[in-house]
Amino acid sequence: MHPTHGGRQHSRRCQAVGITPRWQLFLTKRCLPELPDFLKLIRECRIRSFFIGGIDPEGCGYELEDERIERDDLRYIPAELIALSRDGLDLLGQPECELLPKLYADDSPPNISANFPCLFVDADFDVYPNIAEPAPWWRLGNLRRDGVDAVMRAYRDGTTPGMTASHTIPTADFARRYGNLNSSKLYDKSDLICRFLHRWGEDYMEGIK
């Protein structure tokens, strides 16, 4: 819920009928100067359910990587806002430079999966698994051109380039190729691996091995 675009009014409507609204704040560098005003809105709307998270480094979120919060940015987050957040700043993760040594030692592949497997079909009838972004290297096929059977076989056997990479390439290889030991950007471990797979997918599409 975006508190500057009707969120305030919607929150009050929820509260009026006994529903507790939950706000989500996905932090980027761009919004840091606005945090004091955001805190005022939380007080004004008497929000009691709220959490702070980071952006996913895939899909449209990958285009915002330059805006990702770094360790030194944490000082700009009001202490009261952190105290009010359900998980504090835990969901922002750790600096990349601190996560990488552990990933360098991980010889197992990422094996990305979903708790509730399902498929995403876009307007062109291209089909993607819900384990990652709808990108070409995850594409299972097209319902019109390939048919349901071919799409489901690709899903069952994990034959898309992205699924194959996720199940066969060691995490350590991804980390050595795409990690940055000089980076203090904050990531959850799984999000950092998703960023690696996005970078791998881009290289794959450009024919870089």
What is the number of other CB atoms lying within 10 angstroms of the CB of residue 207? 6
User: Residue 5: its pLDDT value, please?
Assistant: 52
User: Residue 27: its pLDDT value, please?
Assistant: 94
Instruction: Compute the distance between CA of residue 39 and CA of residue 47 in angstroms, rounded to an integer.
Output: 10
How do the domains of the chain map onto residue ranges? Answer: 3-92, 103-205
**CB distance 90 to 62 below 8 Å:** no
Task: State pLDDT tens for residues 179-199.
Answer: 999 999 999 999 999 999 999
| DSSP secondary structure code for residue 117 in this structure | -
Rounded to two decimals, the pTM is: 0.88
Task: State pLDDT tens for residues 158-176.
Answer: 999 999 999 999 999 999 9
Task: State pLDDT tens for residues 25-44.
Answer: 999 999 999 999 999 988 88
**Distance between first and last Cα of the chain:** 42
The CB-side HSE value for 166 (13 A sphere, CA atoms) comes to 23
Instruction: Compute the distance between CA of residue 39 and CA of residue 169 in angstroms, rounded to an integer.
Output: 44
Q: Which residues of 168-195 are buried (b: 16+ CB within 10 A; e: fewer)?
A: ebebbbbbeebbeeebbbbbbeebbbbb
Instruction: Assess whether pLDDT exceeds 90 at residue 89.
Output: yes
